[in-house]
Amino acid sequence: MSTLVLAEHNGQQLHNEVRHAVSAAQHWGQPVHLLVVGYQSEQIAKQAATVDGVTEVLHANAPQFEHPLAEDVSKLIDTLVTDYEVVMAAHTSFSRNVLPRVAAVAGVAMISDVLAIHPDNRYVRAIYAGNVHTTVQSRDAKQILTVRGSKFTAAELNGQAEITAVSVPEPFTKTRWISESRIESDRPALNSAKVVVSGGRSLGSAEKFDALLNPLAEKLGAALGATRAAVDAGYAPNEIQVGQTGVTVAPELYFAVGVSGAVQHTAGMKDSRIVVAINQDPDAPIFQVADYGLVADLFDAVPSLTNALS
Amino acid sequence: MKILVAIKRVVDYNIKVGIKGDGSNVDIDGVKMSANPFDENAIEQAIRLKEQGKADEVVAVSIGSSANQDVLRHALAMGVDRALLVEHETEVQSLEVAKLLQAVADKEQPDLILLGKQAVDDDAGQAGQMLAALLDYPQGTFASELDIENGEAIVTREIDGGTETVALQLPAVVTADLRLNDPRFVKLPNLMQARKKPIENLSASELVTDLTPRLSLINVAEPPQRKAGIKVDSVDALLQQLRTKEGIAL
């Protein structure tokens, strides 16, 4: 038996999380196959073939996958699932949409957002917004799971897997894709950035949020993040919200600027290697989780930090 | 058009749960319970669609013990028309929840099934997708906008790095994100009235024969905690620490 990993991409680039999922997939010690779903996606399949540890790339190329819907992707995986003991992916909105459908049709449980994989199909995952870690054991013959990418190392890109075309079922016609809106940015993606600069409500307005944090993020080559409070106040778009109801990040370096440190936010960033907090309030809870705390007026400190990086 | 809304009863999201001394499970004895917040967004959206004349009837369903009557009364007070309790004393996991909701959908024949994108206790985020798969329905997950037009549900979904809009032929399953709406406050008179409304009981084991959990709980533990580091008194001191002590090239 083999392990099947669902690969995510944006039409041009294989997402970094795929490499983390592939390294998690090595746990079972079985051949790892990577499934690339797309349209005119030969280039993606070739990238997938270079991920270390992948023995075969299954390439599903069809017009309905130009904007892949969960209904179509899960139908495709349903046709492959009998050949695999494990079907898994990184815990992204794409796979969270697809894999529960696969699990339901296969009649097995799914294990979401796995932090660690142990022998005998035991998994550690976070519950209650990351406040509790639980270990569960699956009693199913087939394992279907998503893993949190930041908890597993990224596979290298020295591989040379074979690419095999797979046949694609008829499209599911009851769902129609209409449009997509993504933030275009030269900056790294928030969930895989090495450095993240996040702003909280203390920034005071959308204008100040941008004026203060953009230059700093630019200098650091960092992705921009925001707290739920800053998003709710309209300072930043929802897409960049870091926290329990947003994106989970684990960069090398995390700057929390004007962030109070609500549990909702810390749940999404507490796996960062180094956390720097800049806040005027010396009692802000963020200082309890920060490696380096600077108690200062952020309207002075952030520009001088940006300047000092020149 | 009939809408079915599924509601999970969970530990109130404001409460930080503790762990039992032997690490066997979380300790929720005597803890305040509420409707799952994402499910409240689902209830709110269903009621708004009814208020807009786009739905005729909203039916709420919850799975669990008789204690679940409180979240169903809450839904009735918000404005749903009827409430169903699928009685089951022990925990049911996502797939079994989906199977039970499938059985309820077979009885009720709703045009739209709404539920939260995940429950704030187990954070699994699977029941909606599983239900859609079992019914072979279209799904609109993590919805931040939902409208009904010409027999289709138009759903704007929160995806990594942006949003996506899809049209779902009804009947369909939609799971609510927090941004879908702000659930209304329940007024006391409505709550009093809701107390008098009947709740229909269904037996889980009559709907689905095998409800055994597939995932066994081995233990629970506190996650590793971050510790407070040091305070620095200037930007220069901060950069020096990051450069020399942490070896970061800045």
pLDDT reading at A183 higher than 80: no
Q: What integer pLDDT is reported at residue A267 of this predicted model?
A: 86
Q: What integer pLDDT is reported at residue A26 of this predicted model?
A: 97
Q: How confident is the model at residue A131 (pLDDT cuts 50, 70, 90)?
A: confident
| Candidate from A96, A134, A174 with C-beta closest to B125 | A96
**Tokens (6 digits) for B113:** 């099934």
- Residue among B98, B60, B71, B78 at smallest CA distance from B204: B98
Say which DSSP state B121 is in.
T
Q: State what percent of residues in chain A have pLDDT above 70.
A: 100
8 A C-beta contact, residue A304 and residue A259: no
Q: Count how many Cα atoms sit within 13 Å of the Cα of residue B70 in the half-sphere of its side chain.
A: 11
The CA distance from B238 to the nearest CA of chain A, in Å, is 7
Interface of A with B in 143-162 (CB under 8 A): none
Q: State what percent of residues in chain A have pLDDT above 90.
A: 86
User: Which residues of chain A does B219 touch, with a Cβ-Cβ cutoff of 8 Å?
Assistant: 134-135
Cα–Cα dist B28/B30, whole Å: 6
Q: Which residue has the tokens 């016609």?
A: A173
Q: How confident is the model at residue A199 (pLDDT cuts 50, 70, 90)?
A: very high
Q: What integer pLDDT is reported at residue A27 of this predicted model?
A: 97
Q: How confident is the model at residue A247 (pLDDT cuts 50, 70, 90)?
A: confident
Cα–Cα dist A244/A227, whole Å: 10
Q: How confident is the model at residue A190 (pLDDT cuts 50, 70, 90)?
A: confident
SS3 string, chain A, reads CEEEEECCECCCCECHHHHHHHHHHHHHCCCEEEEEEECCCHHHHHHHHCCCCEEEEEEEECHHHCCCCHHHHHHHHHHHHHHEEEEEEECCHHHHHHHHHHHHHHCCCEEEEEEEEECCCEEEEEEHHHCEEEEEEECCCCEEEEECHHHCCCCCCCCCCEEEECCCCCCCCCEEEEEEEECCCCCCCHHHCCEEEEECHHHCCHHHHHHHHHHHHHHHCCEEEECHHHHHCCCCCHHHEECCCCECCCCCEEEEECCCCCHHHHHHHCCCCEEEEEECCCCCHHHHCCCEEEECCHHHHHHHHHHHCC
Q: How confident is the model at residue A246 (pLDDT cuts 50, 70, 90)?
A: confident
Chain B residue with the nearest C-alpha to that of A136: B217
**Tokens (6 digits) for A134:** 């639980």
8 A C-beta contact, residue B79 and residue B60: no
Cα–Cα dist A301/A297, whole Å: 6
Q: In a mutagenesis test of the B interface, which of A9, A16, A96, A108 is the best target, namely the one with the most B β-carbons within 10 Å?
A: A96
Cα–Cα dist A156/A150, whole Å: 15
User: What confidence tens digit (pLDDT) does each residue in B210-230 have?
Assistant: 999 999 999 999 988 888 899
Sign of CA dihedral A257, A263, A267, A270: positive
User: What confidence tens digit (pLDDT) does each residue in A36-69 have?
Assistant: 999 999 999 999 999 999 999 999 999 999 999 9
Q: What integer pLDDT is reported at residue B52 of this predicted model?
A: 97
Cα–Cα dist A131/A244, whole Å: 10
**A287 in reach of chain B (CB within 8 A):** yes
Read off the pLDDT of each residue in B183-195 and give the average, rounded to a whole number: 94
φ, ψ (nearest 5 deg) of residue A164? -120, 130
Q: What integer pLDDT is reported at residue A22 of this predicted model?
A: 98
Q: In a mutagenesis test of the B interface, which of A9, A76, A87, A101 is the best target, namely the one with the most B β-carbons within 10 Å?
A: A101
pLDDT reading at A310 higher than 80: no
Cα–Cα dist B134/B137, whole Å: 8
The CA distance from A191 to the nearest CA of chain B, in Å, is 9
8 A C-beta contact, residue A194 and residue A252: yes
Helices A70-80, A93-106: crossing angle, 10 deg rounding: 50
Read off the pLDDT of each residue in B78-83 and give the average, rounded to a whole number: 97
Q: How confident is the model at residue B126 (pLDDT cuts 50, 70, 90)?
A: very high
Chain B residue with the nearest C-alpha to that of A146: B124
Mean pLDDT for chain B overall? 96
- Residue among B74, B61, B67 at smallest CA distance from B100: B61
pLDDT reading at B192 higher than 80: yes
Read off the pLDDT of each residue in A165-186 and give the average, rounded to a whole number: 91
Chain A residue with the nearest C-alpha to that of B167: A176
Cα–Cα dist B150/B113, whole Å: 17
Give CA separation, A260 vs A201, A308, B222, in Å: 8, 25, 23
Read off the pLDDT of each residue in A271-295 and give the average, rounded to a whole number: 95
The CA distance from A74 to the nearest CA of chain B, in Å, is 9
Cα–Cα dist B230/B238, whole Å: 10
Q: pTM of the full predicted structure?
A: 0.92
pLDDT reading at B162 higher than 90: no
Helices A298-308, A206-220: crossing angle, 10 deg rounding: 30
Question: In this predicted complex, what is the ipTM?
Answer: 0.94
pLDDT reading at A128 higher than 80: yes
Q: What integer pLDDT is reported at residue A66 of this predicted model?
A: 96
Read off the pLDDT of each residue in B25-37 and give the average, rounded to a whole number: 95
Chain B residue with the nearest C-alpha to that of A141: B214
Q: In a mutagenesis test of the A interface, which of B226, B227, B233, B236 is the best target, namely the one with the most A β-carbons within 10 Å?
A: B226
